[in-house]
Amino acid sequence: MFSYCPNCQSKLADKESEQLLDCSNCNFTYYFNPAPAVAGIIICKGQVLFNVRAKEPSKGMLDLPGGFVDKNERLEDALQREVKEELGISIDNWKYLTSQINRYLYKGITYPTCDAIFISYLDEMPRIVKQETEVAGTVWLTPDYDLLKHIGFESLREGLSFFIKNKKKLSS
């Protein structure tokens, strides 16, 4: 990922670790920790709300509402913020479902992420006002295994697979 030390600008040895950058010149160490991200499975009348991604990565693919957690932000607050920004709706009854690892390729750099996936059951279909720059469209779909190939990120495919496998237990 790095050719030069971000601290002293010395050329780094070619032996790059997946876990850390270690400069032998200045002893600077940088750990490649995953970035926290959140996603929400919103369920109403047996269907799940999906976004259609408006930009790369995975432009045009299905996605769950969510995004990266900001500095000094709790996971739950990040999800509420992202859902409000992307869909114009407020949901405050999130329940933690699972977490999945992901590799997020953006502008030539692959970021490791840890995606916390939450679930919320709604009684009524909300009025959605989508954020045009992030969301090309929205669609309510019945969750099944055939749908997974249309999901843009492996972590969300895994999370939805977990939900599908356990949905009877989760809805009781």
∠ CA 157-120-159, nearest 5°, is 15
CATH architecture label of 35-171: Alpha-Beta Complex (3.90)
Supply the pLDDT for residue 12.
87
Q: Retrieve residue 112's tokens.
A: 């490791």
Q: What is the rounded distance in angstroms from the CA atom of residue 158 to the CA atom of residue 148?
A: 9
pLDDT tens digits, 127-138 = 999 999 999 999
Residue 31 pLDDT exceeds 60: yes
Residues 6+ apart with CB under 8 A from 159: 39, 41, 64, 97, 98, 100, 115, 117
Residue 1 pLDDT exceeds 80: no
Q: Please state the rounded mean pLDDT for residues 11-30.
A: 83
Contact 123, 42 (CB under 8 A): no
Task: Show me where the domains of the chain are located.
Answer: 1-32, 35-171
Supply the pLDDT for residue 17.
62
pLDDT tens digits, 36-86 = 999 999 999 999 999 999 999 999 999 999 999 999 999 999 999 999 999
Q: Please state the rounded mean pLDDT for residues 149-153.
A: 96
Question: What is the overall mean pLDDT for the chain?
Answer: 93
E strand or H helix that includes residue 115: strand 109-122
Q: Residue holding tokens 């999130």?
A: 94
